[in-house]
Every structure is written in C-alpha cells, then in structure tokens.
Amino acid sequence: MGWWGGRGSSGFGGRSTSDEVTEGIDASGLTAIVTGGFSGIGEDTARVLALRGAYVVIAGRNLENGRKTKDEILKKFPGAKVEIMELDLSSLTSVRRFANEFLAKNVPLNILINNAGIMLCPYQLSVDGVEMHFATNHLGHFLLTNLLLDKMKETAKVTGTEGRIINVSSMAYMMTYRGGIQLERLNEKSGYMSFLAYGQSKLANILHANELTKRLSEEGANVTANSLHPGEIKTGLPRYSRLVQAIMPFYSPFMKSIPQGAATTCYLALHPSLKGVSGEYFHNCNVYGKGGYAKSEELAKKLWDVSVQMSSK
C-alpha cells in the first residue's frame, strides 16, 4: 500500500488528506499540543485540529513564524481556539519552561503530537551536549511527554475521554547505526553520519511509543501512544542536504502534498476507530508492520532508561 496504492482497511490511503480523514469529527472540548507547528505538516495538523473545534497550543522556536501561523488559521476560521508558545526541543531548559507554563494554565490535555524535528544536519551538539538529531527529535520529546503525562492521565480519568500521544517518526528508522541506537556513544563525532543519526532518532521515536504503551497499559491509564511515517513530503526539512535538494525537482511529482503528509497524524489524533489502539506504527493511515530494531523490547527499555538519565541533568 504505497503512495500510489489504494486505500487500506481504515478506508484511507496515501492520497487521503488531513481534512478528509477528520471529516465530520467534532473535537470541541479537546485540548491538543502540536510541536513544530509553525510550518510544514505540523502547521497543517494544527489547522485541521482547530478546524474541528479543538483548543490547539502550537509550539515552536520562532514566535514570529508562530504568529503568522496563528493569523492564517484565524483568517480561515475566525472562531478557532489557537495559542502559540515558545519551545526549543533541543534545549531541556526550554522543554521544562514550556511544560511549566502550560501546566500553569490549569487546562486539560487530551492530545500530544510530538511532531517537531530536524533532518540530516551536520554534526553538532545541543546546548546540553547531546547530538542534535537525538536531542531534538527524541530526547526533548521524551522529556516533554514525561512532564505532561500526569496531566494527560488526569484529564482522561476525569473526562472519560481517551488521551492520545502521537510520535511522528519516519521510514528512515530502518537506516540506522549497527545495534539500532548507539547508546554508549550517542554524542561522539567519530563515525558520525547524518542520515544514520537521523534514522537513529526516528527509531527512538518508535521505541519510545512502544515502551510508553507498555507502561501505560501496566498502569491501566486511558492514554494511548502510537508512531507514524508521514511519507515523503514537499517541506523544508531536508534543507541541510544538498543531495536531497538536488534530486528534489525530479522526485517532487511522486511526493505527497503537506495535507496528505499530515493526514496520518490527524487520523491518529482524532479518528474514533482508533480507540484503544496503542503501540502501533502507522503509514498512510493504516497500521504498518515494524521491522528490525523497532520490534525490540530490550532496546526500547534500554533507551527509556538512558533517556531518563540524560533528561534529568
């Protein structure tokens, strides 16, 4: 079931858009956070959630871009409930500040969409001394999720409405370092390859959702966690790669539009058919089999433990 393929058992497929997969769904009364929501598929995800009536907190680094995003949404839907907040996923201090500021609002939280990410950047370390792909794509989201998890569980318990956590991953998770995730040498420059570092961070997104599902299930919490591949999309994400930019014009006709790329995220966030579904990996709005290290319970547990240690500094 590729991009050009037909619809899967969900009734949706690679050509489905974010508007189509949420058509007729009433999200009023729900609160959602979308990271990396000032551009690309994150922006479209925020637009659609707001269109369906949710109160949407859009988080990102550049508040000027955020204001433009908010204005565009309000221009289309004057009654939309949208707020922007500053968040830099590569900084643990920024993540903690964001979480504290959100929790201080004393509002419920039903949906957390861990969407923000970087791709194929040259070797660099975050302000916390963590390799930038791992810091931004995984560790920041890991800490954010943990800081907001009690609020999500409380909201689900009080309202009876299932909470949903969505990690935007990538098929690139299959192209990673030997062993899947190099937990002992995450920050070493020697042997660094940007596409493997990116794949490693995307594998971490899947393993995070897997292990989180296990822990939520053991607690009996009414919160699910899933991961997804959005597809190959026309966005500015590969801006660091000259090779990708060079082949983009030739590959462009076969890529998804942004609303098609955001479809699976919106489907996971709102569709009623997914009630109780957790720990799955989705592509084109359908469950897609995990391969290789993405199935490893042992690696997921090790990643969790290392992430707790790294994010507590």
* Pairing between β-strand 223-229 and β-strand 281-283 as defined by DSSP bridges: parallel
CB of 53 within 8 A of CB of 110?
no
**What single-letter amino acid sits at 145?**
T
Catalytic residue among 55, 123, 177, 192: 192
Q: Angle at Cα 130 formed by Cα 125 and Cα 135, nearest 5°?
A: 100
Is 251 among the residues known to form the active site?
A: no
Rounded CA-CA distance 116/36 in Å is: 4
Beta strands 163-168 and 111-114 are parallel
Radius of gyration (C-alpha) of the chain in whole angstroms: 18
Give the up-direction half-sphere exposure of residue 131: CA atoms within 13 A in the CB hemisphere: 30
Tokens of 304: 């969790």
For residues 163 and 156, give the distance between their C-alpha atoms in angstroms, rounded to a whole number: 6
The catalytic residues are: 192
